[in-house]
Amino acid sequence: MVELRDVRYHLPKQNFLLQDVNLTLVPGHVYGLLGHNGAGKTTLLRLMAGLIERFDGEAKGNGLDIRKRPLSYLQNLSYVPEKPYLPPLKVYEFLDLYAPLYPSFDTKLFHTLAKTFDINPYEFLAKLSFGYLKRFYLAFSLATKAKVILWDEPTNGLDITTKSILRRHIASSVDESQLLVIATHHIEEVENLLDAVIILHYGEVIFSATMEECQRLFTYTVTTDEALVKQALYAEPALGGYQVLLRREGGEDTQIPLSFLFEASVRQVSFFRELKEKRYES
């Protein structure tokens, strides 16, 4: 579990990169962390990974103070940045050096993933293309079996086939004892894996909910009914009329495209902020 309470962070003489962030992330969920460039996604991941120490508020991982970088937390944490580190090591040397740091490392799973991703164990990491480097780090991350997994733009640099393979392995490898946070601009590439969403806007969490909660709160449809369009929280032209997001007032569950929900939230910030506060109060 990761708990953030009233977290605020900024660099000297700059605006807040994170402001009043309150989140509780629990095992058994795959979270999508969404936001425009500069919204604070990478900063938030780095803070949860223990790479930022000077901030206001509390950040706890499994009940421990993250800013103190406790060993028991770090041994169960895997963070893959958008641009991974390039040590002067071969793949198997990296494995020999870093795998023992993770008590739950699954060597068999790593070799299965490495074979699937066509990773040469005798290749120097520095000589791998960006796409293959991403394959390696994502395979290693899944094999750690860490309780907290944080990925920043994991699908950047991956081809279509590899993205499909990655989705299958996430679905089969991540269990109920783990939580995975995926920060991404490419929502459609991971949408089917996500069961919860966190939306950042200029360093503020304006909305966070499970997909089940989203379905209880909203209705999505494509319509030509102008009355519905006027009632909508957000509407966009679409083939066959308008796609609209409405407050749900009964009826059946509807599948809500996350990219559309995201656009609605950043265009109706006050409403989503108010909705978030009401949910916290209840």
Residues 185 and 86 in one domain: yes
Contacts of 176 (CB under 8 A, 6+ apart): 27, 28
CA 48 to chain centre: 12
Which pLDDT does position 163 carry in this prediction?
92
**Model pLDDT for residues 109-137, shown as the tens digit of each residue:** 999 999 999 999 999 999 999 999 999 99
Residues 43 and 183 in one domain: yes
Residues 165 and 281 in one domain: no
Residues 169 and 246 in one domain: no
Residues 139 and 269 in one domain: no
State the CB neighbour count (10 A cutoff) for residue 39. Answer: 23
CATH at residue 33: 3.40.50.300
Proportion of the chain in helix, strand, coil states, percent, rounded to 5: 40, 30, 35
Of 202, 228, 260, which residue is a domain's last? 202
Residues 11 and 88 in one domain: yes
Tokens 């938030």 belong to 44
Which pLDDT does position 254 carry in this prediction?
87
Domain count, the chain: 2
Residues 145 and 174 in one domain: yes
Q: What is the residue-wise DSSP string for 45-111?
A: HHHHTT-----EEEEEETTEEGGG--HHHHTTEEEE-SS----S-BHHHHHHHHGGGSTT--HHHHH
Domain holding 89, by residue range, is 2-202
Of 202, 224, 251, which residue is a domain's last? 202
* Mean pLDDT (whole number) for 135-148: 96
Which DSSP state fits 9?
E
pTM greater than the 0.85 cutoff:
yes
Which pLDDT does position 252 carry in this prediction?
83
CB 79 within 8 A of CB 87: no
Which residues is 242 bridged to in the sheet? 223, 237
- Return the closest-CA partner of residue 45 out of 56, 59, 57: 59
* Polymer length of the chain: 282
Residues 165 and 268 in one domain: no
**Model pLDDT for residues 36-73, shown as the tens digit of each residue:** 988 999 999 999 999 999 999 999 999 999 999 999 99
CA 269 to chain centre: 20
Residues 102 and 196 in one domain: yes
Q: pLDDT confidence of 12, banded at 50, 70, 90? A: confident
Bridging pattern class, strands 196-201 and 30-34? parallel
Tokens 């939306």 belong to 199
Residues 30 and 124 in one domain: yes
- Distance, CA of 210 to CA of 29 (rounded, Å): 9
Residues 133 and 167 in one domain: yes
Of 151, 169, 202, which residue is a domain's last? 202
Residues 121 and 232 in one domain: no
